[in-house]
Chain A
């Protein structure tokens, strides 16, 4: 039995989500192969070969794979799919974009966002914003899966020495093209990989206040910054900082929620954090029901005080 992991990378380097996906793949049983489909992504392929537990890396290189266009990446996966019993993608924006194309073309169901492998054909996945956990069994010969990275430990990034094999790139589908990207440059840890996250909500009141209050605390803790949907919709924070059911799913060691009331959609994205701190002046805020430590206080006073006290 062979299991294929589709690597998440930006050509220059491998993303952490790949490591958690490798762990999930190993739990499915069989040798784990990793596909790195990109352009000038040799360094990412090398990194993939170092992951503990990876038996082989398949590297496909083409200009048409540079930006991860779903049509082209899916075709690349499909070109080698028949060798595998399981194909796993991290449940990132990139993985979620491509996996269903692979599943539908293979005429198999996709199992989205798994948090546990019970057996090679049975998995756990959250539904209804994590308010219920479904145990599902696939009757299809091949399993196409996306992996919720917070459900699995990261495989060791080093210690492996897999061979890197080059695969012929499939042709450009030619129906879509990449026009441009606006990727926020930041020295902060990535939201989904951060050990500490400081998140702000609607109570911040403006983008200026969000930056003024949240940033110093994040700086002090070396933390990533997150936001509630309300804060993102109001323009206080960038969209890719949204934590929740339809945004990023995070599980850091420490999650500090400042001025976030705690709608179920937000809780869905952070309630697996190890320690949750809530700072809110509303004693009835639902966020307190999941917080290990609740501080009932005005965040505009409490957060700066916390920065000074650390």
Chain B
């Protein structure tokens, strides 16, 4: 059984991004880039399924610029067996629908039993790619997974939903997107980083896959959110209650 794990290279979650002064985007020059944290959870889950003997091969995929190779090496250091980069030009605004189409083409080629990916990327916060891939490949989906049990032809997935949890049974192949509580990714060790350098990494182009990756949404501008005015410190609980009652009038 094969698993595909799509991973995205994003601005590291600890970086507070700045909007460019020309309002054409956020400044990502010289900013630390990392694997999207939800995708890291996806790689970890796939590798654990392999370690349990339920899966034979874990293939990491990334769509984007040449530097996504680093992200793929990280995935292989966690334990993915090989990787595929769908390389796109640096000036292309690659959007979720296009990524889903690229992934669909690779699903057709690789025929995995499972695709696991993050529920959203922390840069565009779109929360679309997994679901789009699922419908394009005509597969069932379980988003926001906090538990995955894999059997020969089925996956039982517990999902985080509004109000609590629900469990779905999916026939394989299927698409699963990860939530925070699914697992805690391991730290990659130096020997594994070295090993990952020797693993196979293939590069293809969108044209090779016959996919049109032209953006559908045009970003007209990117601006700073409205700032909250600085508040005040209150001396004690009595002062707080007084403010809430008489100034803010919220209680």
**A interface residues, Cβ below 8 angstroms from B:** 67, 69-71, 74, 92-94, 96-101, 103-105, 107-113, 122, 126-140, 173, 175-184, 192, 196, 221, 229, 232-233, 238-240, 245-246, 248, 253-254, 264-265, 271, 274-277, 288-297, 302, 305-306, 309-310
Whole-angstrom distance from the CB of A183 to the nearest CB of chain B? 4
Chain A positions within 8 Å of B244 at CB level: 254, 275, 277, 293
Chain B positions within 8 Å of A107 at CB level: 97
Q: Is the interface of B mostly helix, strand, loop or mixed?
A: mixed
Whole-angstrom distance from the CB of B83 to the nearest CB of chain A? 25
Instruction: Please state if A181 and B16 are interface contacts (CB–CB under 8 Å).
Output: no
Provide a sorted-by-A list of 27 A–B residue pairs whose CB atoms are within 8 angstroms. A69-B168, A70-B131, A70-B143, A71-B140, A96-B143, A99-B131, A101-B134, A103-B132, A127-B123, A128-B17, A129-B122, A133-B224, A133-B225, A134-B221, A137-B218, A176-B171, A178-B168, A179-B166, A180-B166, A233-B181, A240-B162, A254-B248, A264-B16, A275-B248, A292-B231, A293-B240, A295-B234
Instruction: Please state if B217 and A137 are interface contacts (CB–CB under 8 Å).
Output: yes
Chain B positions within 8 Å of A136 at CB level: 217-220
Question: Which chain B residues numbered 118 to 177 have a C-beta less than 8 Å away from chain A?
Answer: 119-120, 122-136, 139-144, 146, 156, 160-171, 174
Given the interface pairs A104-B131, A132-B17, A264-B16, the reply to whether A183 lies near B122 with Cβ below 8 Å is no
Instruction: Please state if A100 and B217 are interface contacts (CB–CB under 8 Å).
Output: no
Q: Which residue from A101, A138, A178 sits with its C-beta under 8 Å from B135?
A: A101
Given the interface pairs A175-B170, A239-B146, the reply to whether A112 lies near B125 with Cβ below 8 Å is yes
Q: How far is the CA of A69 from the CA of B231 in the complex (A)?
A: 44
Q: How far is the CA of A192 from the CA of B161 in the complex (A)?
A: 13
Q: Which residue from A108, A135, A180, A294 sits with its C-beta under 8 Å from B232?
A: A294
B197 an interface residue at 8 Å Cβ cutoff? no
Q: How far is the CA of A108 from the CA of B162 in the complex (A)?
A: 27
The number of A-B residue pairs with CB atoms under 8 Å apart is 254
Chain A positions within 8 Å of B221 at CB level: 134-135
Instruction: Please state if B125 and A133 are interface contacts (CB–CB under 8 Å).
Output: no
Given the interface pairs A110-B97, A128-B17, the reply to whether A293 lies near B231 with Cβ below 8 Å is yes
Q: Is the interface of A mostly helix, strand, loop or mixed?
A: mixed
Whole-angstrom distance from the CB of A256 to the nearest CB of chain B? 9
Instruction: Please state if B232 and A293 are interface contacts (CB–CB under 8 Å).
Output: yes
Q: Which residue from B132, B143, B218, B237 sits with its C-beta under 8 Å from A309?
A: B237
B204 an interface residue at 8 Å Cβ cutoff? no
Chain A positions within 8 Å of B238 at CB level: 309
B241 an interface residue at 8 Å Cβ cutoff? yes
Instruction: Please state if A104 and B136 are interface contacts (CB–CB under 8 Å).
Output: yes
Which of chain A's residues has its CB closest to B95's CB?
A109
Instruction: Please state if A101 and B237 are interface contacts (CB–CB under 8 Å).
Output: no
Q: Which residue from B180, B223, B228 sits with its C-beta under 8 Å from A229?
A: B180
Whole-angstrom distance from the CB of B237 to the nearest CB of chain A? 4
Chain A positions within 8 Å of B234 at CB level: 293-295
Whole-angstrom distance from the CB of B129 to the nearest CB of chain A? 8
B26 an interface residue at 8 Å Cβ cutoff? yes
Instruction: Please state if B162 and A94 are interface contacts (CB–CB under 8 Å).
Output: yes
Q: Which residue from B169, B181, B243 sits with its C-beta under 8 Å from A177?
A: B169
Instruction: Please state if A67 and B11 are interface contacts (CB–CB under 8 Å).
Output: no
Instruction: Please state if A240 and B160 are interface contacts (CB–CB under 8 Å).
Output: yes
Whole-angstrom distance from the CB of B47 to the nearest CB of chain A? 21
Q: How far is the CA of A182 from the CA of B248 in the complex (A)?
A: 38
Q: How far is the CA of A71 from the CA of B137 in the complex (A)?
A: 12
Question: Which chain B residues numbered 223 to 251 have a C-beta less than 8 Å away from chain A?
Answer: 223-225, 228, 230-234, 236-238, 240-241, 243-244, 248, 250-251
Chain B positions within 8 Å of A92 at CB level: 162
Instruction: Please state if B180 and A100 are interface contacts (CB–CB under 8 Å).
Output: no
Which of chain B's residues has its CB closest to A176's CB?
B140
Instruction: Please state if B251 and A173 are interface contacts (CB–CB under 8 Å).
Output: no
B100 an interface residue at 8 Å Cβ cutoff? yes
Instruction: Please state if B164 and A181 are interface contacts (CB–CB under 8 Å).
Output: yes
Which of chain A's residues has its CB closest to B177's CB?
A97
Instruction: Please state if A127 and B125 are interface contacts (CB–CB under 8 Å).
Output: yes
Chain A positions within 8 Å of B250 at CB level: 196, 253-254, 274-275
Instruction: Please state if B161 and A129 are interface contacts (CB–CB under 8 Å).
Output: no
Given the interface pairs A97-B131, A127-B125, A233-B181, the reply to whether A296 lies near B233 with Cβ below 8 Å is yes
Q: How far is the CA of A196 from the CA of B248 in the complex (A)?
A: 13
Instruction: Please state if B225 and A238 are interface contacts (CB–CB under 8 Å).
Output: no
Q: Can you list the 3 inter-chain pairs with the closest CB atoms, starting with the nearest?
A: A100-B131, A109-B216, A104-B132
Q: How far is the CA of A248 from the CA of B234 in the complex (A)?
A: 28
Besides A109-B96, A180-B166, A275-B244, 7 new A-B residue pairs in contact (Cβ under 8 A), listed by A number: A100-B129, A104-B128, A112-B127, A133-B222, A177-B169, A179-B166, A295-B233
Chain A positions within 8 Å of B33 at CB level: none
